[in-house]
A and B are shown apart, each in its own frame.
Chain A
Amino acid sequence: MSKRKTRHLVLAAVVVAALLVLTLSAGCANKQAAGPGSEKPRKGGNLTIGVDRETDTFDLYQMTWSAGQAYVYDTLVTRDWNYKYAPGLAESWESSPDGKTWTFHLKKGVKWHDGTPFTSQDVKKHFEVMLDPKTAAANVLDYTWIKSMETPDDQTIVFKLASPFPNLLFKLCQSYGAIQSPAAYAKYGPNGTKEYGTKIAVGTGPMKLKEWIPGDRIVLERNPEYNWGAPWLSNRGPFYLNTLTYRVIPDSATRVAELETGNVQVLLDVPVEHYDRVSKMPNVQVIKQPAFGLGYLAFGTANKPFNDPRVREAINLAIDREALAKSVFFNLVQPAYGYLPPGLAESYEDKNAMRYDVEAAKKLLAQAGYPKGFKTTLATQNRTEHVRAAQAIQQMLEAIGVKADIVQYDEAGYKSFLKSGKQQLFMRQYSWDNADILQWFLESRQAPYPGHSLWKDKKTDELIAAAEGATTPELRTQKYIELEKYLIEQAVWAPLWYPMSIQAVRTDLVGGYRPYPGGGDVFNDVWLKKDIK
């Protein structure tokens, strides 16, 4: 007994020491990313990541949920550890002064998984297929800025735009904006054997799709040819790992138990309710950082009484965001006072406009003609935290006389409900790392879906158009901040919380894992300290 205790103490001491070293070395901001100590990366083995749901497909045209695509496919542009744009398949790029011509110079010697060389014609063909209405690509709207493409040589691709588009680099970084083999797509896609995306995926990435057992696991295996990794990676060559497995474990308690036994070495999304248990585990490093996203209470702004900005503002003032973050999320989120997460340059907060002030809220409601409040519905998807947040808000709103009945939906039912346009109050959360999310949800033409707020407003449209068509990123940022000020004034939403990303890594088994901004993952530099059965 006592022996075991001492062992735990020693372990704890080692972990503390390791964490200290880690924080110190992170503080020095050095470029060596090998992780704690000076251990050498070891080759081989299989690393297993526990996930609650698997991706829908490896066909980039149809994909709506990514898990693993980033390793099978490469993007033209990447983002480094500081989230700055950096070379990917494109070594360098330049844009014309009018912002309508973008030229990308591709790396030499890049090969597809099937061994054929990767060229600019592939890039051109890839985007042509995506933009073809017959493909019915889910993310086509993100690439409609492409007016035409030219390929002066195998290593150069030129995008011609109808109007300037400062957000272009962002779009080329997306996992669904990576390049998949047009030849393989033609052969195995919808017009071929129909196996593309589930059994076959051909990219240029450091990993290949080896096996996919639906509902159980996706196994990726090392691409030995790979040597064109992004310059900010310590390991630009093939993975150290032989295989990388995404295991689907829907039950969160089971997922955490698998981490505890070491069968799963990494969790990319530790559920809030298990945070305490995971942070107390020996040999587990918990990485907590702001995620790019926002949880908010939205209004059906076309429906009474939420068409009155005073009502929306009153509800904004009736919510105690600090209390919400504490009671519902155990402070594992940040209270939100703006429409965009703080990590973005475009983020703008107004704590006064969203202060907790029940008296002022009551006054506003009286002015709007509801001195005694009103009855309404508060819709939410049946996600545990959202339901609990809805219950907390229900209580807060009662203080100003607003009686909201909570209505729960499953994911599919919720989407249809929002599309119906009958929503009053409803809970939403987005996960997105770009200001264009505001365009997505609030531009007039997006109503009623995905513009669930039913917000149709000329000034909003003008500001969005000015931002998205700006000639420089700086001007775009400025326009978006202007838009946010206006949205806050109109109280279009009631922002509630900024989510956090909580990852957990077994430090006794995994080396070289480094936190990536927003809770993303990079396994190129990761290795296993020993083989796991």
Chain B
Amino acid sequence: MRTYLIRRILLMIPVVLGVTVVVFLIIHLAPGDPVLLLVGERAPQEVYDRVKHAWGLDRPLLTQYLTFLGNILRGNFGMSIQMRRPVAELLARAIPVTLELGFSAMALAVVMGVVAGVISAVRSGSVADQATMVGALLGVSVPGFWLGQLLIVLFAIKLQWVPVSGYGGIRFLILPALAMGFADAAVTARTTRSTMLDVIKQDFVRTARAKGLSERVVIYKHALRNAMLPVVTLIGLDLGYLLGGTVVMEEVFSRPGMGRLMIQAILSRDYPVVQGCLLILAVSVALCNLLADIAYVFLDPRIRLQ
């Protein structure tokens, strides 16, 4: 187990390194010049040159990359060109905002999805089942930003239960988490339903019923536990999707998180910020994959690590 872990962690290094190279090249080769945006239209050429030099952007790309890499290894993410603050400071502020939304959306998606999936599986064919599946279809099809605006109109403007946008507490989280979690809940519901339907038909469920256990215990203790495996896999895979979803939701609900930071940075060719954000993302995705692999071992003892 230990050697496996060490090997996996060592393997992460080339992956992350590869990501930095790709990211660095893409953002630097994209048309657009951060210095032009920084100094504005009214700056003379001398000012432009001086600023470009000050940021080291007049040096060869390879030198710039190696400097960036060297700084990262020393834990220095550099300074934002456009926002004139240390990238680490910007990230430290933005990451919690994004995690808060990502995790609450995920929690909402799991609860809504699993409950809806179980209900429609147990009452397969009933009106409740059909209604849930229509809802799930809607959830998958409706674009998040549009759903977000609908929720704003209903809950923030008409009913005035929650604020329209911003962040700072659970009141601000409800709408974006709903808008983001809805699509995910829909997918979870459909998966839960189909695996539940499979599991319910299996012998051990019949045995449980034959033992005289109550229907509730049969469904929740025996069937659901076994049906959860693919759902857990799905949730793991969804992490990346959720981070992508926050990009849209942070824009609609004006939350100053990683997604917003990244978009702003990409639009203004703020290289250090884009690099910092993507590095964090790459590392966290790699870590999540590792955690998922480890989790399998605990969930299913039949899986062995070599």
Which A residues have a C-beta under 8 Å from some C-beta of B? 56-57, 59, 62, 64-65, 133-134, 136-142, 197-198, 213-216, 247-251, 253-254, 257-258, 260-261, 263, 409-413, 415-417, 419, 440, 449-450
Q: B254 touching A250 by the CB < 8 A rule?
A: yes
Partner of B164, one of A62, A136, A215, A258: A258
Q: How far is the CB of B134 from chain A (nearest CB, A)?
A: 27
Q: How far is the CA of A138 from the CA of B40 in the complex (A)?
A: 7
A416 lies within 8 A of B32 (CB): yes
Partner of A412, one of B33, B40, B85: B33
B41, B47, B252, B264: the one within 8 Å of A254 (CB): B252
B54 within 8 A of A: yes
Task: List 5 tightest A-B contacts by C-beta distance, closest first.
Answer: A412-B32, A64-B40, A215-B256, A216-B256, A136-B50
Q: Which of B189-216 contact A (CB under 8 A)?
A: none
Choose from B51, B93, B156 the contact partner of A213 (Cβ within 8 Å): B93
Q: Are B47 and A415 within 8 A (Cβ)?
A: no
Give every chain A residue within 8 A of B30 (Cβ-Cβ).
Answer: 413
User: CB-CB < 8 A to B41: which residues of A?
Assistant: 64, 440, 450
B268 at the interface (CB under 8 A from A): yes
Is B42's CB under 8 angstroms from A440's CB? yes
Residues of A within 8 A of B145 (CB): 251
Residue in A142, A215, A248, A254 whose CB lies within 8 Å of B253: A254
Query: Which residues does B use to contact A, with CB under 8 Å?
Result: 30-34, 36-44, 46-47, 50-51, 54, 82-85, 90, 93-94, 145, 149, 152-153, 156-157, 160, 163-167, 251-254, 256, 260-261, 264, 267-269
Contacts of A139 in B (CB 8 A): 40, 42-43
Most buried by A among B30, B46, B166: B166
B153 in contact with A257 (CB, 8 Å): yes
A64 vs B35: C-alpha distance when bound (angstroms): 12
Minimal Cβ-Cβ distance residue in B for A213: B256
Choose from A133, A215, A416, A449 the contact partner of B50 (Cβ within 8 Å): A133
Minimum C-beta distance from B130 to chain A (A): 33
Whether A250 contacts B260 in the complex (CB less than 8 A), given A198-B85, A261-B156, comes out as yes
In the complex, chain B residues whose CB is within 8 Å of the CB of A59: 84
Residues on B with C-beta less than 8 A from A412 are 31-34, 36-37, 267-269
**Residues A214 and B85 in contact in the complex (CB < 8 Å), given A136-B54, A260-B157:** yes
**A59→B145 CA distance, assembly (Å):** 35
Interchain nearest-CB distance for A477 vs B (Å): 22
Residue of A nearest to B149 (CB): A253
Q: Tell me which of A134, A142, A410 contacts B267 (CB under 8 A).
A: A410
4 other A-B residue contacts (CB within 8 Å) besides A133-B46, A415-B32: A56-B82, A62-B84, A214-B90, A409-B31
